[in-house]
Structure 1
Amino acid sequence: MCSRFLSIAVALLFATICAAHAAPLRICADPDNLPFSNRAEQGFDNRIAILIAHELRREPQFVWARSRRGFLREQFDKGACDLLMGVPQGMRGVASSSPYYRSSYVFVTPARTHVQITRFDDPNLNSGRIGLQVLEEDYAPPSLPLIRYGHAGQLVGFDAFGQRSEDIVKAVADGRVACAVVWGPLAGYFAKRDHLPVTIAPVSGGADTSGVPLAYSMTIAVHRRDAELREQIDRAITSLQPRINAILARYSIPRDGDGKGGR
């Protein structure tokens, strides 16, 4: 009996030593991109990444890098970090976890107008300027249906990243644009944080008729060779999903589907 207890004690000690010496979990994150992440670790992806790291008994270590064009090639592919939060399911060049949430682009309209838009053929889009995020040099995906329905001349571009990313929602509230089409997590977060008098409604349907998606299941990317880490993250997401959902709710992230991640 003593021998059995001794064996258990040794096993526990070994597990403790292994956990203490586990490599930190390196997470690539943008230092200035709320509501997703910032250097003060105030974004919802910061908080979810920390939850997952602790579930894996590893210390989270953020590697700060701007999430702009060339990021995967210059940072992630060169091994600067182990994982990357907020990657659309199926993105090429990486291995994706199971989704931890799903969201869509949303229409943002001034609350004072009592107008709720959900479709690109809505006649309410025919008058006034329409705000749209700019990703690097290109408009965000909703530009395709907007242009097809004849609204090219009404489009006004806004920064999608950094300190000015909130401007597109504020522009709707103060009347600089008549409405906007915005990635849901950004619109929901800034509308609540700044108490903006706007109405938010998800774009109807999950994709444009051309096949370009307007709703995305968001995953955690790992290196394609790291199947073991991906499996560990999948198990962590399953275990932590209620806590992840609670974080998303605190940040007012609009979720598409049943609210249980992207599944």
Structure 2
Amino acid sequence: MLRSALLAAALSAPVGLLVEGAGSAAAQTSDLVSRSEFRVCADPANLPLSHENGSGFENRLAELFAAKLERPVAYTWFPMATGFVRNTLRANRCDVIMGYAQGHELVLNTNHYMTSAYALIVPKDGNLANVKTLTDASLKGQRLGIVAGSPPASHLARNGLIAKAKPYHLFVDRRVESPALDMLKDLRAGNIDAAVLWGPIGGPLVKSDFPEFQITPLINEAHPPRLFFRITMGVRPGEKVWQRKLNSLIRRNRNEINTILLEAGVPLLDDMGTETLKGD
């Protein structure tokens, strides 16, 4: 469910920019960025992150950045699955992906604008309400919902929880299937005892549609893989001028960015992934 850290691994290979030299490359990559629109690459049905009706929190972030640049937002819609980067950013149809985990080679990352983590979601009044880690003995014998292939699956396997876990698909077209929503519906129905989801997906869904649940960021795991990630914006490799412009906007509008994320229900952490941030 962590889009860039997990989905990007399965995206098709980057398309090389056909240039003859460093000077030529700088000129061409600079010319690719629109000067009249804030062109965003996005999934049309990936709530709570993005949606073609503009209701996702990434839509709100795009509107904020477009306003600061005094440009309208223009979207290129494509399902967040195999070929997303190749068919959007690398095809020069758009200039920025709003949410991308720090450090992946398919894009040039901006500075991060949030840090968040995978989270445990359980009923507020249930017997798992005090669980803070996936090593807690209270989880033994419980059936957990988990997105297959996501980092928390390694923790479930280490802790003897994977045999009873219910897996949900990772690579889907969210216009026809929503693993996160299906998982939370199963939790409500009692088909699973707890859900493990990427916080920026699970948190907003709990806030908007599942108020009987609580969400606990998994920031206290003692063993790898780590479950927190710094989230950036992704631009085309080589577009350093565009990257620096976005970095400046992130730095100067940190409070407004945090307000949008917290209002949406995203669990925000400090940069080291050790403490949760609260709104003012």
Regarding TM over 0.5, the answer is: yes
Please list, as runs of the form range in 1=range in 2, the aligned pairs for 1:1-263 lying within 5 A after superposition. Answer: 22-114=35-127, 115-134=129-148, 139-159=149-169, 162=174, 164=178, 165-205=180-220, 209-210=223-224, 212-257=225-270
In structure 2, C-alpha distance between the alignment counterparts of 1:226 and 1:128, rounded to whole Å: 48
Q: Identify unmatched segments of 5+ residues in structure 2.
A: 1-33
User: Deviation string for 1:75-130 (max 9, x for gaps)?
Assistant: 32222210101100111121111111111000111222142222121111112211
In structure 1, C-alpha distance between the alignment counterparts of 2:116 and 2:69, rounded to whole Å: 26
CA displacement at 1:192 relative to structure 2: 1.3
In structure 1, C-alpha distance between the alignment counterparts of 2:112 and 2:146, rounded to whole Å: 26
Aligned length: 235
Q: What is aligned with 1:14?
A: none
CA displacement at 1:171 relative to structure 2: 2.1
Secondary structure of residue in 1 paired with 2:253 = helix
Identity of matched residues, %:
27
Give the alignment's Cα RMSD to 1 decimal.
Answer: 2.1
AA matched with 1:173: R
Q: What is aligned with 1:9?
A: none
Q: Report if the CA contact (8 A) 2:99-2:233 is conserved.
A: yes
Secondary structure of residue in 1 paired with 2:125 = helix
| CA radius of gyration, larger in | 1
CA displacement at 1:29 relative to structure 2: 0.5
Bigger mean CA deviation after superposition, 23-32 or 168-177: 168-177
In structure 2, C-alpha distance between the alignment counterparts of 1:259 and 1:203, rounded to whole Å: 11
Secondary structure of residue in 1 paired with 2:238 = coil
Secondary structure of residue in 2 paired with 1:112 = coil
Bigger mean CA deviation after superposition, 162-171 or 45-54: 162-171
CA displacement at 1:27 relative to structure 2: 0.4
